[in-house]
Structures are given as structure tokens and as C-alpha cells.
Structure 1
């Protein structure tokens, strides 16, 4: 399995560390620009611009050269123009414009990681694990992922709809959807008190305010002692690394949370929990699936390996690298660059492997008739009354209590 997360929605889907603009800023770049010369590259660009049978401008050739550089790197690193950079920053604030679905290459197939809540993709019925077969009636293949993404970005920028043909996971059933881009607002933390005083928290992404919102919610429950806590990380594609670390720290009294390792000094860190915690004596279960990736895997592994929570569901996606957004030279551009790998508290590299749940539940293991209603159908994001993962979590918590 090759984990190559990309997005159709321009929402960030990796572990993002903020680097100071001065570190890779214009002054730094200008220093090297005056010291180095690139005669071969300049000669190639000039020759093609002058003699090639088809006309290309100098700017087009420079952009092609930049694109060529990133083909040498991992698939998580990319050049971001002003619009893409703006969309990523907005997504970290919980709002962005796009189609609302994360994709990956998995076993040489373009695969849906997760549709975002209330997005055009989710409303169209797209599900995690679906395979993308065609874009606007053109066949797509994993080796042409960059071209596919470029086309989708263009449709989003121009506010144009796209047609996707997809196949359901583990099935020959195919279907087509037409979706239009829109402004998508994500509340990263949603919560509800279930029966038997069991708290349920859905964490859909890791945004700037996720830790603060989670603390607010837990504080509201302090007056009513919890019998258990369910943290739902299913279809959470990641986000800000510092938020995942801070949230892990809320639930852990001690122990390592995550370790990162890279080539330059600041990319090497060990993060440990502080003594200040909340809901320490409450049984806790974390729900994960194939759509749980990146920062959500950091949080899940920290809680699992420190013995704070059990994981229930399916094996997670398996993304073990850290990206940083580095402001570029000019015009509001930026570079999203992989700067480190991370390992779990026990030193495990989960990249392209994922995290194994303590309690594994296959998607087809329980039918709707076998589940029982647990909450009102007017709950957020529709009903989870027949959610077998939540039902299993409640049953486990009751046994523990």
C-alpha cells in the first residue's frame, strides 16, 4: 500500500509544522541566489524558448522546471501558488473552497481517503475507500495523479462542476456523481452526551482552535461525571501537528506523545505529556478507520501506546511524515515540504502500515438489523443510531464499568 495523500478540496491533510518566514524568507533565498548560478538550466530554458516547435514562454518553462523538481521528492511535497496557499491557511481556520474530498493512491489505484463533513462530496454519497475511475469521462490512473489534481484545481478555481465515476470499495459496483465546488465550513469538534452518561466527541480535523474547543466541551461535562468517553477519529485526514499533540496531552498524565526526525535541527523533537489532564479516570475508546490519517494517527497511537485508550475499528491509513508550510520567494506562494518522519511513543514507524486497532470490526461484520438505537435521529451529522462502532464502544465501556 502506498500512501499518497492528495486533495481535491484544497484542505490540508497532513501534519503541518509552522516554520518562521524568516527561516526560508526572501533574504535567505537572495543570499544564495547571488552566490549560485545556474547556467545549464538557464541555457536549457533559453534554447527551448527560442527553437522548440511549439511556443512556450519563459514563465511556462520555469513553472515546468519547478514541477520537475517536485517529482524528485515525495508525493506530499508540492509548490503552492497564492490561491492554494490561501486555501490551506483558511482550512486551518475551518473554512475552505472546494469539492471536499481527500484522495490517495492505494495499490496503484486512486482512492478516496475521506469526504469532508457537509461537503459536496459527502452529500453526493462518496465514501472512504471508493476508487476514482474517471474524471469528466476521462480515465484516470495513479501515475497521472498530478495531472488529475491540476485539472481539479482548475475547475475549483473557475467554480465549475466536475463529474466523477467511482467504484465502491471491495465491489464491482460503479456509480457517477456530479459535484460543484462550494465554501465548506468544518466544526472540528462536535459532541453529544449519549445514554448511560457516555460522552461522544467527533474530531473531524485538527484546526487552529481544535484543542480550545475540545477543552470547552470537556469542561461542560465536568458537572456530570462521565461513565465513559468515545473519541471518534474516523475519516479524520489530519491537520496541524501541534493540535494533535496538545489534545493527546489533555488525556495523558505522562509519557511520550510522538517523536519527529529530520535533517535539520528543528525537525528533531520528542514531545512528552505534562501532568495537567482532564477526565483521567474515565474509560476511553477511540474510533479509527482507513480514513484516519496523519495527525489523527499521532493522537490515536499516543493514547493507545500509553495505555490511556483502546482503539476500535479498522486499520488506519498509514501516513508517517511531517510537512511544513514554508513561505516562498514572492507573490504569496509557498512550498509544502516534507521535513521529517515521525514515530509513535514506542518508536514505531506506521508509514504505509497504519495503526492496528485493539478491537477490529470489519465494515460488513454487523448488519443494520443487529444494531440498536442509541441516540435520537436529530443528532448532528445525521443519525449514528445504527453505528456499529459506537454501539461496540458503548458495550465495551459498560463492561469496563
Structure 2
């Protein structure tokens, strides 16, 4: 029988390999022998294998069964370890360069369902209204409960213009609902910049690709040359699902002069690595506010954690996703690989954010900004009969003047990005404080009037190019 032959083969292989340590399950073993190859469990595996091979209703080849076994081993480890077949391996390599075909969504698994970590800026998924935290329960007519993460990804991929129906469960919505999305070629522009209020630099990083770190440093330097009087930087990492670890290190390096950025620890000898910043701060020490939310994951959390530990930036927003693990892509053939969680990363202060996330220094929830209007004009000193005149001159401001200012100060408040506006106001306050400390003049902080400017654009509404 196949079972007997497989069992004999495994036993022989075990005896030959044991002196080389191939079948030692862990570097540390005790006298009980728990680190040795569990032969009885292997016998059980071969029994199951033989039953499936000989008795399953449809014939399955040995190579396909073994591939299924590999997938099963990896899928049971954690949500981020996976088997990459030829197509998935190619897709992973394409994704790190920023161009791929599909709907533009970063996903993970939760209780057998597919969970949205975040939609990518400017993609069909974002335009269709997919939100962080959504649970996908069906893809077209197929339930995802029995799918692996890679199988779900493959279903989401397809030619440009083809249709995909996602069945969504969303917190606060009573029943599942369908979202129809047309696939497109996803070209992710990783780094976007814009000047706000004339002298504050807004940087949006959608995800961390191979060149994201170098692009960030380059754009900061170029903007400082164009606008030497920059007063601060907003680094927007909201709904950034992560990406290439080295890119996140380079982004931090752009804002640090020296010091530890992140370190990793794992069981393999080469998994304990310290990443440090090189000499030179591309931003010349400008104050920084980093925006994060529950969709900021992995590499985004490395950046936020490092800048927070070095007290180089104020972190603002809501608690991040909490993915503190490192995946290594290990080729096992010319066209296949495994993505294996091999280490945990730690912030310079020794914090692991795994399943905890980065807590902002200033918590600001997303909210709609609305104008509160009084029932009628509110009297002021200028309205009182016989009030003293202002001897310094200038026009008096009575209730009618203030009412006019109040009613026109906010344009379309439902679209207001309050988190971005709070970040901008904080930078303005820091600039005023610094100027006061230095004894110089500073532009007054505009808090009484909220103007419609770049702060009105939500991160998911950013145009394809802001340059």
C-alpha cells in the first residue's frame, strides 16, 4: 500500500537526516525528546494521505495533495504566512513595484472571512466605498469561508473592465450588502505632496513600495529648495497598509539625523537585525505631525513608532492596526515561494506593537465639522449704548458683523477632514510658540475661521497627482 511505502520512506529519511539536525523542530530541545521528529504523527499523516488519495470522490494527483498539505501548514500558523503559487509569487513581486491588476484593496483574514485592512487611494475599491474593517463574505457567488487568503486574492484579480461583486458585512449596518466593482490596472502612486496654507508641507504615503523612502527624502529636499520658509510637515499614513520594511526605514531616515529606527528578533540567526538612520536630516529639523488610524499597519507603524520614540514627531489620530510581524519570502522553486512570519519588530524604545498598535500622542477621531449658530445676533460690547471707544482706532465689530463671519466661515462641512485640520492647527501653534521663544514675529493662528483649502480633501479623495 501507498501508506506502507510512504511510512517506510519517512522513517528512512528521518534516520538519515537526524544526525544533520534537519528534523530537529526547534533549536532548544529538552531530555523528553519533544524536539525530535514525531514519528507517530507522521504515521497519522500518511494514513490520512492514503485515505484521501484512494477514497476521495475525485482523483487527485500526489503533487496536488502535497501542495494542499503545504498550504494547510502555512494557513494554520498566522494570518500573514502563506503559500505562493506561480501566480501569487508573480503578483507579490509586481505589488512591491506599485502596479498590478485588480480592485486595489489590502486584505487579511478574520474568523474565516476576508477583512479589509484598507482600500488603496484612487482605486476602484476606494471609489466604490469599501472601508477599513469591512468583512467580505462572498466574492461573486462564492462564499469566502473556505478560501485561503491567496485564493481570495486570486479571485479579486482579473482583466481591466471585468466585474467583481463583493458581499460586505459592515459594523453598524444590519444586513450584508453587495458592492459591484469594475477591475482596473492599479497603479499606486506611493508618495504625494502638496503645500498647505503657503508654508506647510503635506506628504501622503499610500503604501510602502521599494522607492517610497527615496521619493520621500527627495521631495522634502526639493520642496525646501522651492519654499525655504517651510514651517512644518504633515506626514499622512492613514489607511496605509504597509509594504516593504526597508522603505519604512528610509522614510524615518529622512527625518532623523541619527539613531535606531527599528529592530527585529526571531528564531533564525539572521533575523536579529538593527536598522539605524544615517547622518543627515532631510527636513532640517522641521516640526512634524504624523497622522495614523486603524488602517495604518506594519511599515506605517514602524515609521510612527520610531518618530514617536525619538520624540521627533507628534502622532495624531486613532490607534493603528497592530501588525508587528515581519514576513520573509522564501523561494522553494523557480516559480513558487512561501511567505513565512520569521520575526517580530520592535520600536527604538523596545515596544512591540503586535496586536496592540501605536497609540497617538493626540487622539483625534474622525468627525464632521459643523457651525453652531445662535438663534439670533449675540450682543457684544460694541452694541452697548455708551460703550467706550477703542482709542487705537479700527472698525468696531458688532453682532451683525460676527454673524456674517460665522455663517460663511465653513464651506461644505460634511467634507471637512477634521484630523488633517487639527494637524495643521497644531503645526501652526508650534510655529507660533517657537517664534515667541525666539522673540520673533509669527503669523497669527487662524482658529476663528475654518477655510476651505487642502484640508478639505480626505485622504481617500486625493487626486491621482498633487504635484
Verify the 8 A CA contact 1:98 1:181 in the aligned structure 2.
yes
The higher-RCO structure (CA 8 Å, 6+ apart) is 1
Distance 1:229 1:329, change over 3 A: same
Verify the 8 A CA contact 2:253 2:281 in the aligned structure 1.
yes
| Counterpart-to-counterpart distance in 1, 2:136 and 2:192 | 29
| Counterpart-to-counterpart distance in 1, 2:178 and 2:414 | 26
Shift of residue 108 of structure 1?
Answer: 7.8
| Counterpart-to-counterpart distance in 1, 2:256 and 2:288 | 12
Q: Is 1:349 equivalent to 2:315 in the alignment?
A: no
| Counterpart-to-counterpart distance in 2, 1:373 and 1:167 | 39
| Counterpart-to-counterpart distance in 1, 2:61 and 2:80 | 28
Q: Is 1:197 equivalent to 2:199 in the alignment?
A: yes
Aligned match of 2:154: 153
Structure 1: where are the runs of 5+ without partners?
A: 1-30, 378-382
Aligned match of 2:164: 162
1:334 to 334, 337, 347: 337
Q: Secondary structure at the match of 1:222?
A: helix
| Counterpart-to-counterpart distance in 2, 1:164 and 1:52 | 32
1:359 to 337, 357, 362: 362
| Counterpart-to-counterpart distance in 2, 1:108 and 1:56 | 25
| Counterpart-to-counterpart distance in 2, 1:107 and 1:286 | 32
Please show how residues 2-401 of structure 1 align to structure 2 within 5 Å: 40=43, 45=49, 48-105=52-109, 110-136=114-140, 140-141=144-145, 144=146, 146=148, 149-154=150-155, 156-157=157-158, 161-172=163-174, 175-223=177-225, 224=227, 225-330=229-334, 332-364=335-367, 366-367=368-369, 386-401=416-431
Does 190-199 or 164-173 show the bigger shift?
164-173
Verify the 8 A CA contact 1:372 1:391 in the aligned structure 2.
no
Q: Secondary structure at the match of 1:251?
A: coil
Residues 14-64 of structure 1, C-alpha deviations (whole Å, 9 max, x = no match): xxxxxxxxxxxxxxxxx98xx989985667545533344432222321222
Q: Give the alignment's TM-score, normalised by structure 1.
A: 0.80
| Counterpart-to-counterpart distance in 2, 1:222 and 1:155 | 41
Greater share of strand: 1
Verify the 8 A CA contact 2:292 2:315 in the aligned structure 1.
yes
Verify the 8 A CA contact 2:255 2:285 in the aligned structure 1.
no
Larger Rg: 2
| Counterpart-to-counterpart distance in 1, 2:197 and 2:86 | 48
- The number of residues matched between the two structures is 359
Q: Give the alignment's TM-score, normalised by structure 2.
A: 0.69
